[in-house]
């Protein structure tokens, strides 16, 4: 009988040796106790140390009983099933002063279905939709000519068919043409590819009836309602799809808004939002206030940006 931690015990907990439990008699001297412990460790076996809550395994656990982890003296040890690897927390390397962050390339300059919002360089492109209009398009062409500015006209097929002379003048004065569909259908992009193709081709045919060799490299969906199939069909016909970055909403003229207020809105919106490379949306069809707004905007824009037509 010996006294351990204030209590009298006949023996201490068993020590496993090479996977077997043996009853270890009371060691008479610390030297013998140390020697037994050392032999157990060298043999690759676990050694148990007695405490009031049972054995805590040191080193390798016996094959039939893997080593538990003990969180507190009163907690029951949790056992990991044999053959299941322990989960470890990966250690992340700290960045050094010489670490260069990786730059992520974003798809810039694109709108719905990857239509173009910007020109791709510093030039600002003015685009005018829904014409030609026999009343307003000649006024816009006169104003552009006076300021030595080239622009892009997104024409509606039935208007191109009705006013071929204006299509010819647009081309002759160095401006770019864009296909804006036959009748400005806001839902055309949801139709079958064959229907979309027929509409765009009909518009191109009307343009070519006026100017047989006129290049038509661009398409703009009415209302900006691009769809993937719309863009795909236009591409198959050799046309890029153009959206816009600046929309002064010149087409939105409430009855309660005076002509002067509408003009001021257009001017303010373009000045506020335009920047290098922007594509600007406006209309030459049935928008006399737009023409007046550009009488002020063109000199202002020319003093700050390079104004370009989209390449023909």
| Catalytic residue positions, numbered | 129, 283
DSSP bridge pairs for 148: none
Give the CA-trace dihedral at 134, 140, 146, 147, to 10 degrees.
Answer: -160
Would you give the end-to-end CA distance of the chain in angstroms?
Answer: 106
DSSP class per residue in 121-149: SS-EEEEEES---TTHHHHHHHHHHHTT-
- Please state the length of the chain: 312
56-58 and 47-49 strand pairing = antiparallel
Separation CA 133–CA 138 (nearest Å): 8
Separation CA 23–CA 302 (nearest Å): 100
Let me know: does 124 contact 152? Beta carbons within 8 Å: no
How far is CA 242 from its chain centroid? Answer: 19
Structure tokens at 110: 């694109």
Gyration radius from the chain CA atoms: 41
DSSP class per residue in 79-110: -PPTTPPPP-PPPPPPPPTT--PPPPPP-TTB
- Cα–Cα distances (Å) from 171 to 201, 234, 239, 272, 311, in that order, read 19, 21, 17, 31, 12
Separation CA 126–CA 121 (nearest Å): 14
Structure tokens at 100: 């260069």
Let me know: does 117 contact 245? Beta carbons within 8 Å: yes
């Amino acid at each position: 009988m010996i006294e351990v931690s204030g209590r009298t015990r006949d023996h201490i907990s068993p020590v496993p040796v090479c996977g077997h439990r043996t009853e270890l008699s009371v060691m008479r001297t610390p030297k013998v106790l140390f020697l037994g412990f050392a032999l157990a460790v060298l043999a690759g076996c676990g050694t148990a140390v007695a405490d009031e809550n049972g054995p805590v395994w040191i080193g390798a656990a016996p094959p039939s009983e893997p080593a538990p982890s003990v969180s507190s003296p009163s907690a029951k040890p949790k056992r990991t099933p044999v053959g299941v690897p322990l989960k470890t927390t990966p250690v992340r390397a700290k960045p050094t002063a010489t670490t260069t962050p990786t730059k992520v390339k974003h798809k810039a300059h694109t709108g719905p279905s990857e239509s173009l919002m910007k020109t791709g360089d510093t030039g600002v492109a003015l685009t005018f939709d829904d014409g030609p209009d026999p009343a307003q398009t000649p006024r816009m062409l006169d104003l552009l000519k006076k300021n030595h500015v080239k622009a892009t006209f997104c024409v509606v097929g039935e208007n191109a068919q009705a006013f071929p002379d204006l299509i010819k003048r647009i081309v002759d004065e160095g401006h770019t043409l864009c296909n804006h569909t036959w009748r400005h259908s806001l839902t055309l992009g949801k139709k079958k590819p064959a229907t979309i193709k027929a509409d765009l081709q009909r518009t191109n045919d009307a343009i070519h009836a006026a100017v047989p060799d006129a290049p038509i490299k661009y398409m703009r969906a009415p209302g900006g309602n691009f769809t993937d199939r719309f863009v795909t069909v236009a591409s198959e016909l050799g046309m890029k799809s153009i959206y816009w970055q600046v929309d002064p909403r010149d087409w939105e003229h409430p009855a309660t808004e005076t002509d002067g207020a509408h003009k001021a809105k257009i001017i303010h919106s373009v000045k506020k939002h335009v920047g290098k490379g922007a594509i600007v949306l406006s209309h030459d069809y049935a928008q006399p206030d737009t023409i007046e707004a550009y009488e002020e905007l063109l000199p202002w824009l020319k003093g700050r940006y390079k104004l370009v037509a989209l390449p023909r």
